Structure 1
Amino acid sequence: MKIRLLIAVAAMAFATCALSAPQTTLTLHKARTTVPVTTPVGGAPLTSLEQDPAMTAGDADSGDQEDLGPPPVVNRTIARGHAGSQRMGQAKRAKSHPNLLGGFDGLNFYDQRYANGGNQFSVEPPDQGLCAGNGFVMESVNDVLAIYDTAGNRLVGPVDLNTFYGYTAAINRTTGAYGPSITDPSCYYDAATKRWFQVVLTLDRVGTSSTLAGTNHLDIAVSQTADPTGAWTVYSLPVQNNGSDGTPDHGCAGGFCLGDYPHIGADANAIFLTTNEFALFGSGFYGAQIYAISKRALVNASATVNVVQFNGGDPNVPAPAFTVWPAISSGGQFVTTNGGTEYLLSSDAVFYDSGTSNTIWLWSVTHTQSIDTTPAALALNVAPVTVQDYAVPSSLVQQKPGSAPLRDCFALTGCAPTYLGYPNIVYPTPRPMAVNDSRMQQVSYANGKLWGTLDTDVLLADGSHGSGINYFVINPGSRGVFANGTLALPDANLTYGAAAVTQSGRGVIAFTVVGPNDYPSAGYASLDAKAGAGDVTIAAAGAGPWDGFTGIPYLGGGRPRWGDYGAAAADGNTIWTASEYIAQTCTLSEYLTPPLFQCGGTRGALSNWATRISAIGL
């Protein structure tokens, strides 16, 4: 109740004036150059060390407070409660594939685990980083990337992210040496400068041990030309925010902050990166961080680059700053008022005990054209926008039953101890999957409007609670709402929605469809500022159930993870989408046929996630 009261007071204040946040001016230094080169695929099908000890911890979109792994445990929980929405799913399934130009399978768990000769950990969930332009499509996931032409031909990849960013392997399986731990990739093609930007969160180790050093940074790779298969310049931005390496001291418990969940946006003058700041070696959320970085200097590969950091956790910022997602531009459209402006959106339902809200927050950074000359002139403002009620979805949802050999091996007497080295455990058939919380997802600026989505609780036809997608089309100048509704099916869940929009204002929401009658599938729906969201179209139907290691004791524990975010990108009149789905199925017998656990190169021992890249013409 106290949190709701504070937010209500903040909303009243913002109705009459905007509040600027304190800022810190930093300098970004060039680290190295790199060229994406395909790494060999191979290695042992299963080892005694499959998960990175640094990453087996509490996750960002869970309300679960369990200790999910060996120290250090990064507790990235924040959701206070799950709501009981009464909003029914009303969307229909399209009978055809309107505007679907084609698609192809992107990166999968086999690519991820066996890239760089198998010197990788098993990682789940993959997450999605997608960008497109100049005849190329680039996809990055935890922890590999690939570059394609628009026909779906893979030009480069898989490239493990440790190699791409110039680090040693995530785990050297010959020597046992650890490299830096990399996570949460995102990418963006800037049509105005014809450059590609790729960002990850990198956590340093103590030497080559598994122990985290505490220092962590956003690694920003910038292509040197419009061709992403060529050379890139890499910059490193420290985000531990404890006073070291030029960072401000935010007093995070345990001495180091964590720049979790980085995402990318841009206006004409700056690249914007945002993080959720948690304590790395303790508990506590310290507010979202917003970084404005000189685009000109990045594109010119300058030795030093101006950065302005805004601390959303500062007490002078009364709005709750969590997952403040910066807008990406469609085709180089930018806001030129107020000396150049970047818009961002966030939500706040996770801060309420009820898990519900009817407010999202519109953030803006103004005077961005001063980033190179007078960075202190940049100012951060935030104001509330009243929208349709949305709610934190229920944690777990059902999927269609089917063959799941990892689950079946755990259930079959003697199978898991013999082949996996773990005790037998019997799970429901099928295992449930986790969905997103109600944090803001990808934000776009196009045709003078802001477009965004978030996952929300909905009521399914059978009376159970599931996940749908709340969408917003907002006038950022007046804070008026052009379109706002909930896209939901009565018999399936829609989750991890991501919206992209063409310059003319025609959009697409990409998502995963999963339910009692649906294997995890790649879906999409149209989005219009007047008509709202259209019918749900399945771009690629799932071939079988998700069968991954998270949620299993000894193999990740915690929730059965599925994702953290999807991705979509506008390229002219084409929208490219990347959604997680299941592209394969196999039996336990096939799973145990040599080479073990790979089912003909379609999966790995501990998971079977895949991604689908689709092109939608508008």
Structure 2
Amino acid sequence: MKTRLLFAVAVMAFATCAMGATPTVLKLQRGGTTVPTTTLLGGAPLTNLELDPAMTGGDTDSINANGLGLKQIVNRSIAHGHAGSNRIGNATRAKSNPGLLRGFDGLNFFDQRFANGGNQFSVEPPDQGLCAGNGFVMESVNDVLSIYDRSGNELVGPVDLNTFYGYPAAINRGTLAYGPEITDPSCYFDAATQRWFQVALTLDHIGTTPFLAGTNHLDLAVSKTSDPTGGWIIYSLPVQNNGTQGTPDHGCDLGFCLGDYPHMGADANAIFLTTNEFSLFGSAFYGAQIYVVSKHALASGAASANVVLFNTGSPAVSVEGFAVIPSIASGGHFASLHGGTEYLLSSDAVFSNAGTSNNLWLWSVSNTRAIDTMPANVTLNFSSLTVQQYAVPTSLAEQKAGDTPLLDCFATSCAPTYLGYPTNVYPGPRALAVNDSRMEQVSYANGMLWSTLDTDVLLADSSHGSGIDYYVINPNTGFVSANNTLALPDANLTYGAAAIKQNGNGVIAFTVVGPNDYPSAGYASFDAKTGAGPVHVAAAGAGPWDGFTGIPFFGSGPRWGDYGAAVVDGNSIWIASEYIAQTCTLAQYLTSPIGQCGGTRGALGNWATRISLLGF
């Protein structure tokens, strides 16, 4: 029996609760303008300053490797426990890919590290911001973007995000001056306004020093036309929420909040930006934040735009919001009830000491048409949905053995000679991180919400792995019409992203990785009647992941992507997933320029992305 059989859940008491707190009304101010322009790839292949000292990029707090004593601050998890699951993965693998129209390699570690003349840090994971429309495909990752035509020809890129947003370089290697740290990019093409929206979290340094100032903001770029290769307008929204720069004071420990993990959605009237709010210099979590921004003002290039902020960490809210993900409407078919409504979803197993839950939270922001004239009249409601039990994955993902020249370098005199680090033997290939059970991308199509999250499963050898729970939800009744687990018996599926056409046919994109699989770009069909179909591999990995976060010396756990992406484009669907596109030996790694293996990787990492066009 395949795991794509449906599990329908009738919610016995679907009660919608209005949030009691008064929303905070803010103003988003217009800043500068930008035009995406390809930057020079180059610079020294390896320096003694490969990582931003203020950013080590882990999911748990620890002192970073550069000794500045700052906490790891990017994409934090708050998972309390891991109970494990007894659900066995038994999906099948497809023998062919009839729905795969075309695919091409997107951005990779080499592009990221050596953009802007090499004035970039080594960064992993990439994260995945993909959007498409009007004949263009735009991909943004940590910390570069590129724009392609539908055939995969690169029109612009790679463009480092510091340059795109009008900032100095991440690191000027001539003067050692630091620019702002940019992370967690996401993008969206709005068919209704024919505008492109690109958002990222930006953290300011104290001047040009390596120390963080505490201020941080969501930088939102909006295209001036339907052509993303042309001009953009940049808006900046402070999110330190300590009473400075017009922000409310949420009382975050040590004086500054952090607007982590920004995600974007839209309805007919507003753009929705959501964050997970942590203490920037501490470890406390203060609840998800929902920012409602006037879409009309943004699309018209107005000098300012109304913003409504809902703080799910407020005492007036009786539930815990974490990774509250706004929905993206298929083909511009937005929900029109109650004066315009945007639906959002979140999960809550991360709050459980057992690491399990059979509950999701449905959030709805209504009367969004009031955002331009009476923003305080925009309302937030929430309700509980009963689903099959899911669990925070309990283990890392084993990967197929192969050449890992970075690990091999650490095991020999190569490390002190070329990398400047002490010799140490680390077993390889190291397992890579799977996601926690936070909600992934949410789509609104055919009047339903479609989404996924990662869950713990049992593999055929009785070890624990990662599978993907999927959902089809009627937001008006709370009825969950499709809910089951997509999982293989011999490999992990992780970082799922679902996109659904208006006719109800869609795709779940993910990474496939296991003892017999290098990290690969995968997908499965998805519809309300049959659930998820067999697992397809759009592009098989060429070798193991071999990145610096898998080496304990750097003070953080193994990292993979934090999210994937899938987007409807007319009658087709684009997907993008992280995978490994190259392999090389230690001898090839040591061939000048060191660590680049013919321009396919950098000295400290080898991640890549795969962009595929599907026709279902």
TM (norm. structure 1) is 0.96
The residue type paired with residue 426 of structure 2 is Y
Match of 1:67 in 2: 63
For 1:112, what is the secondary structure of its paired residue?
helix
- Structure-2 change in CA distance of 1:584 and 1:57 (3 Å): closer
The residue type paired with residue 290 of structure 1 is I
Match of 1:523 in 2: 522
The residue type paired with residue 157 of structure 1 is G
| Aligned 1:201-280 pairs, distance under 5 A | 201-280=201-280
TM-superposed deviation, 1:14:
6.8
Kept in 2: contact 1:58–1:73 (CA 8 A): no
More displaced stretch, 16-25 vs 218-227: 16-25
**Which whole-Å deviations, capped at 9, do the CAs of 1:339-390 have from their partners, x for residues lacking one?**
0000000000000011000001000000000000000010101101111111
Match of 1:443 in 2: 442
- Structure-2 change in CA distance of 1:92 and 1:299 (3 Å): same
Unaligned residue ranges in structure 1 (runs of 5+): 1-10
Match of 1:544 in 2: 543
Kept in 1: contact 2:62–2:555 (CA 8 A): no
Kept in 2: contact 1:349–1:356 (CA 8 A): yes
TM-superposed deviation, 1:595:
1.3
Match of 2:576 in 1: 578
Cα separation, 2, equivalents of 1:590 and 1:298: 49
Kept in 2: contact 1:97–1:537 (CA 8 A): yes
TM-superposed deviation, 1:205:
1.1
For 1:433, what is the secondary structure of its paired residue?
coil
Is residue 511 from structure 1 mapped to residue 510 from structure 2 by the alignment?
A: yes
Kept in 2: contact 1:29–1:305 (CA 8 A): yes
Cα separation, 2, equivalents of 1:444 and 1:232: 26
Cα separation, 2, equivalents of 1:319 and 1:576: 34
Kept in 1: contact 2:440–2:497 (CA 8 A): yes
Cα separation, 2, equivalents of 1:566 and 1:355: 23
Match of 2:533 in 1: 534
Cα separation, 1, equivalents of 2:210 and 2:85: 43
- Structure-2 change in CA distance of 1:174 and 1:16 (3 Å): closer
TM-superposed deviation, 1:427:
1.6
Is residue 199 from structure 1 mapped to residue 195 from structure 2 by the alignment?
A: no
Cα separation, 1, equivalents of 2:608 and 2:394: 24
| Aligned 1:202-601 pairs, distance under 5 A | 202-412=202-412, 414-554=413-553, 556-601=554-599
Kept in 1: contact 2:144–2:160 (CA 8 A): yes
Cα separation, 1, equivalents of 2:236 and 2:431: 38
Q: Give the aligned length.
A: 602
For 1:417, what is the secondary structure of its paired residue?
helix
**Which whole-Å deviations, capped at 9, do the CAs of 1:119-172 have from their partners, x for residues lacking one?**
000000000000000000000000000000000000000000000000000000
TM-superposed deviation, 1:552:
1.8
Cα separation, 2, equivalents of 1:585 and 1:385: 45
The residue type paired with residue 220 of structure 1 is L
Cα separation, 1, equivalents of 2:104 and 2:318: 45
Kept in 2: contact 1:74–1:283 (CA 8 A): no
The residue type paired with residue 306 of structure 1 is N
Kept in 2: contact 1:264–1:274 (CA 8 A): yes
For 1:362, what is the secondary structure of its paired residue?
strand
More displaced stretch, 89-98 vs 156-165: 89-98
Kept in 1: contact 2:451–2:471 (CA 8 A): yes
Cα separation, 1, equivalents of 2:17 and 2:560: 41
Cα separation, 2, equivalents of 1:400 and 1:285: 36
Match of 2:4 in 1: none
**Which whole-Å deviations, capped at 9, do the CAs of 1:453-478 have from their partners, x for residues lacking one?**
10000000001000000000100000
For 1:210, what is the secondary structure of its paired residue?
coil
The residue type paired with residue 599 of structure 1 is C
**Which whole-Å deviations, capped at 9, do the CAs of 1:179-237 have from their partners, x for residues lacking one?**
00000000000011111000000001111111111110000000000000000000000
TM-superposed deviation, 1:16:
6.4
Cα separation, 2, equivalents of 1:579 and 1:431: 20
Taking only aligned residues, the RMSD between alpha carbons, in angstroms, comes to: 1.3
Match of 2:86 in 1: 86
The residue type paired with residue 315 of structure 1 is P
Cα separation, 2, equivalents of 1:191 and 1:450: 19
Kept in 2: contact 1:20–1:379 (CA 8 A): no
For 1:407, what is the secondary structure of its paired residue?
helix
TM-superposed deviation, 1:602:
0.3
**Which whole-Å deviations, capped at 9, do the CAs of 1:262-296 have from their partners, x for residues lacking one?**
00000000000000000001120000000000000
Cα separation, 2, equivalents of 1:430 and 1:295: 46
Cα separation, 1, equivalents of 2:455 and 2:610: 23
- Structure-2 change in CA distance of 1:285 and 1:14 (3 Å): farther
Cα separation, 2, equivalents of 1:325 and 1:17: 18
For 1:254, what is the secondary structure of its paired residue?
helix
Kept in 1: contact 2:456–2:465 (CA 8 A): yes
TM-superposed deviation, 1:502:
0.8
TM (norm. structure 2) is 0.96
- Structure-2 change in CA distance of 1:57 and 1:115 (3 Å): closer
Kept in 1: contact 2:53–2:64 (CA 8 A): no
TM-superposed deviation, 1:20:
4.3
- Structure-2 change in CA distance of 1:16 and 1:118 (3 Å): closer
The residue type paired with residue 271 of structure 1 is I
Kept in 1: contact 2:61–2:283 (CA 8 A): no
For 1:297, what is the secondary structure of its paired residue?
helix
The residue type paired with residue 542 of structure 1 is G
- Structure-2 change in CA distance of 1:221 and 1:523 (3 Å): same
Cα separation, 2, equivalents of 1:201 and 1:520: 27
Unaligned residue ranges in structure 2 (runs of 5+): 1-10
TM-superposed deviation, 1:83:
2.2
Cα separation, 2, equivalents of 1:12 and 1:99: 38
Match of 1:605 in 2: 603
TM-superposed deviation, 1:320:
1.2
TM-superposed deviation, 1:90:
1.6
Kept in 2: contact 1:21–1:379 (CA 8 A): no
Cα separation, 2, equivalents of 1:136 and 1:228: 8
TM-superposed deviation, 1:71:
2.7
- Structure-2 change in CA distance of 1:178 and 1:13 (3 Å): farther
Cα separation, 1, equivalents of 2:596 and 2:438: 35
More displaced stretch, 81-90 vs 183-192: 81-90
TM-superposed deviation, 1:67:
3.4
Match of 1:185 in 2: 185
The residue type paired with residue 460 of structure 1 is L
Match of 2:160 in 1: 160
- Structure-2 change in CA distance of 1:119 and 1:16 (3 Å): closer
For 1:258, what is the secondary structure of its paired residue?
strand
Match of 1:7 in 2: none
| Aligned 1:10-89 pairs, distance under 5 A | 15=15, 17-56=17-56, 58-59=58-59, 64-69=60-65, 70-74=68-72, 76-89=76-89
Cα separation, 2, equivalents of 1:20 and 1:487: 38
Cα separation, 1, equivalents of 2:20 and 2:133: 35
